[in-house]
Structure 1
């Protein structure tokens, strides 16, 4: 049995990983720590924890994340915290003899004008999207650390780059959340209060690919079974839609009957962001949860959390 430490286990991705591992308990022993007991930004804390627990595998699902507003407003926090988390976990895992480290990057780290769909080799070939460059630089550093530690020390440290994620346990903060949870909350509250319209940021023309967190967790477990994975690999559906199309899906799912309007003073962000997932397809993994199915189940989870006052807002 392999011992696995999942960082960020209370987040959307981390909790999806815990759900996925529960079906494989005969193979894996899972260890976790809340941030009140383990500060991943503190190198001494991380070293003490990993040297005491001695996991075979570390999956880094921790990090500071947010939408356009949060990235624009708190760039220093985003770059500092994500750099510290990556550096502490990667280097300490090497020091204490972790045999496998699976790091999570993000599709946000690709150049703004990279050719679509985004291929793994496009990384570091051009300027980043200004609205999330601080976050992107920190995540790129994590990927590069894993690559260079693997090259220099022969350790199996590698990374997965998921597309935009959604699912149970998402963050529904009114300003700091990503586009889908922000839309779910906005349309739900508009329906509940009887509003006649919902205003979305920007033109609605940018295109976004979305992957359910449970599909990502399944992909990560699949990657753990690959003996010689690439240094980094895209994880997504390979399909995208405009923000306006997404807003209409959320409108239908929540049952809102009003109009959709636009706040053109807000930035659109990256125009198109869709991953080339052919590398992962060729290894034998494909996403299984449709956007319509995933959105319905995610809204159901939103309603349950709202009812028991456990929404992340």
Structure 2
């Protein structure tokens, strides 16, 4: 008896469940409120782009030409440095011992040269009396020349050793601020190009914004164009920008926004703007939404160029 009514009941329950799921799925989902309101352009006609804050000297990855153990660090994160000031020094005990050895070698050769010159002067003083032969005097004169050459070579070796010692102290190439410090006392600092630089340095007065402009809109940007940047995530933090230059090579876009209509093969023109940070809470590496004042998409040749093309 139970089996007779079980299948119809299960079928009816399935139909009811299907109707309930369909009704639930048909309900309009209320979109979630955005975390922050999007920025708006202050210009009526504009080109928008994604910008990245960087140092005006560009972000300089500091490395070392020779590897070694870090012995001294002269800066901290955020330190302001002048060009030529030391950043860190590698262990230099071996090089200092080499310099001491070279200095002693110079003193030895200098003493030999002084002795050779004295003997030459003595021989030259007796040459008129015939007590010494001309050949002996010439031999001593040649000895002086040989020792002088040895002295020059020894001094060159000392200079080379001092140059190698100087390489162990890495100095700031430009005025700027220490943006990152990834080197620590006692660690081995490898030479060459590193994935993570030992020190990131850059001039932050003023700051620059590197803006990616889609190649379809690149022709609309004019040199000296006005622009405004808003901090990504807070449209109330904004600043006017001053045009600096174009990066004339159009390159593939590296940072995609995730827009479903965006092409992976998009190429962008990079435009550099500058601004003074002042009291704004802006830092190197932050993203900004940039709006550039630009003409409409209609394009006409300049009057003088059009006249030349129309001339017979």
Would the TM-score normalized by the shorter structure come out above 0.5? Answer: no
TM-score interval, smaller chain: under 0.3
Normalised by the length of structure 2, the TM-score is: 0.20
Greater strand proportion: 2
Normalised by the length of structure 1, the TM-score is: 0.20
Give the number of the structure with larger relative contact order, counting CA–CA contacts within 8 Å between residues 6 or more apart: 2
Largest Rg, 1 or 2 = 2
